[in-house]
Structures are given as C-alpha cells and as structure tokens.
Amino acid sequence: MAAELRDSHGRIMRDLRVSVTDRCNFRCLYCLPETEEAANFYRTRWEAGRQLKPVSVEPIAYEWKPKAHLLTYEEIERVVRVAAGLGINKVRVTGGEPLLRRGVEQLVGRLRRLPGVEDLALTTNGFLFARKAEALHAAGLNRVSFSMDSLDRENFRRMTGRDGLGEVLEGIAMAQRMGFRPVKVNAVVIRGMNDHELESLAAYARERDLSLRFIEFMPLDSSRAWQKDLVVTGREILERLNQRFDLRRVDQSSHPSETARRWSFEDGRGEIGIIAPVSEPFCGHCNRLRLTADGKIRTCLFSIVEHDLRPLLRGEATDDDLGRRLTEIVLGKEPGHRIGQPDFVQPARTMSCIGG
C-alpha cells in the first residue's frame, strides 16, 4: 500500500470530509432553496433588469437517497481507517445535517479511536446540537462548526426556511461552555439577503470570542439559480470590516492548505476568516477529499465525476485493494475548479448531498 495520497500536481491529501446523510432539516437559499420565499428572492433579482441565465427558480423537492444506499458506520470507519493509513489526519463529519442520522455519536467514537486521526470535527446547522452535545463530547469530538448566516430572526428564517435562530445560538453557547475549541461559525454571504449583517456578525464573533468564517456564495444550489452578481467577494467583505474593526492578519505561512484567510481583532477576542473560492480560488494548496453518504469519493467540491467505493466495500475487496483505489483516484484529482470560466459545469449534486 502506498505511503501517502499524492496527486499528479504534488499535493498530498490530509483532510477527509465524511458525509453521513444527504438529509437536512433546513432549506437554505444557497443549497436547497425549496421555499416560496427563496424562489421569490431569485425571481426578484431577475425582475430588477439584470442579465441572468434562464434557470428555474420554482421550489424543488429533492429526493433523498434510500437508506440502503447509505454507507453503514462500519463501512465509513473502514474507509477512514484505510485513508488514515495513507496520511489522512483530519476528518470532518458533515451532512446534509449530520445530527439527523441516528447514533452519529457512535461513529464519532469509532473515528476518534482510529490511529492517525489527529483532528476530528463536525459541521452542523446547530438546530439539534443541544440534544447531542454531551454524547458527542463524551465520544471524543474535538471541535464543532456551526452554520449561521444571520442574527436577525426573520432574516434567518428567510435564508434557512426555518425559525431556528434561538436553537442555533443556544447550541453555539453550549459548545463554548463545554470546552469545544475552537468553536467556528460559518456564514454564507449573499448580496441583497444578508450582506447588510457583515458588521453585526463580526461584532458577535468578537463579543463571544468565536471564529467566524464569511464564505462566498457558491454555485451548489438545487435550483441552479446561483448568479455571480449575488456574490459578495472576499475583498469587499474585508474592506467593509476594516472600516469598522481594527483587524490584524494572522500568520498562516505554516498552514498553506487552510481555506480561510484569517484576521484577529485588536484585543485578541475572536477571529474573522474569509473563504473566497469564487473570487480568489485556493485550489493550488487543496489537500481535501470528500466521501459522500452513499460512498462516492469526490476529489473537488465542484467535481462532475464521482468514484464509487460501495462496490468495493460490499464486495470482496481487501483494505489493500481499497487503498490502491484511493491512490488511483487521488492521482487524477483536478488542478482546480472552473467557476467563472466559460466551460464551468455546476455539479449535479447540491452541497447537502456532497457534504461540506
């Protein structure tokens, strides 16, 4: 078995995102915009006289994968064990919403015990976190990231399709009380929807001593309604925040594969990160792989090709066979995504199905 997962561009894979379900209890504007309000938002942008591509903005009901198609916890553990033997040391459990999958804390415990897994994290929308926090902490979860795009209750409902801001805020506070470090909060910024909250979200991070990541709006929604003019670029976000706060750039020279460019506040409380895959791609240092809930390996968030491991996992393949297959897949990893290029093709799956 090879000693590491190296692609043809010299990048070595260290980070594996593991989706445990494609299901979600939110209907976020940038992922599963199935609500009438989401459709109205996109339709309004069309009617403002902008030159936009003719895509449907009608609510779409996504069909979830049957349970039999999803990897079992034993199968997920096996993939992670083999990947860890090839140098993967960071694992993040994602969804959909991972806390919707029954017994997810059992998987966390299994992964925590695997040799080579040094960093184990989870990304959640936070709605169910308070119910699962104790079990996840006891299972050995290192850290947690929350998705929270607005601090305004009504705007939060418009963006997510659910009146759940209170539950998310309580989940974040609980994670901090329990000692998860760091606690990160991710906010996708969409022009005309929540870009007016940049400063208030940053102030919240400083007040609560959180790491807050602003993320550019990416073309990963189920209705194909993404429009480039709705992207608030990383540069614009930083310019806005610099007008309000005294930010100090964090030295990241020892971690070139980090996706977020980071700044600390003057008093050292809290941190701001900007993830700008649309306007400032960071593909050259990408060291990530993604395992979907139904057993597909994706070498890029925007891959249009997936590599199915389920036949190997449910056949007679050995761990060495699985390792060789992972090595072959990584060797063909794309040099980068093509967002903004004439030949860009949006992935068939949404973020909910790919796993962030």
The answer to whether the beta carbons of residues 25 and 99 sit under 8 Å apart is no
* Cβ atoms 16, 291 nearer than 8 A: yes
Tokens of 172: 């974040």
What is the pTM for the complete model shown?
Answer: 0.90
For residues 278 and 339, the answer to whether their CB atoms sit within 8 Å is: yes
CA–CA distance, 214 with 133 (Å, rounded to integer): 24
- Domains of the chain as residue ranges with CATH: 15-354 (3.20.20.70)
Residues 307/291, Cβ–Cβ less than 8 Å: no
How much is the pLDDT for 149?
97
Residue 8, amino acid: S
Nearest-angstrom CA–CA distance, 306 and 180: 33
Question: Tokens 């208030």 label which residue?
Answer: 200
The confidence score (pLDDT) of residue 1 equals 47
Residues of the chain with confidence (pLDDT) below 50: 1, 49, 51-55, 57, 59-60
For residue 226, what are its two tokens?
A: 């993404």
Structure tokens at 158: 């418009």
Residue-wise pLDDT tens digits, 84-110 = 999 999 999 999 999 999 999 999 999
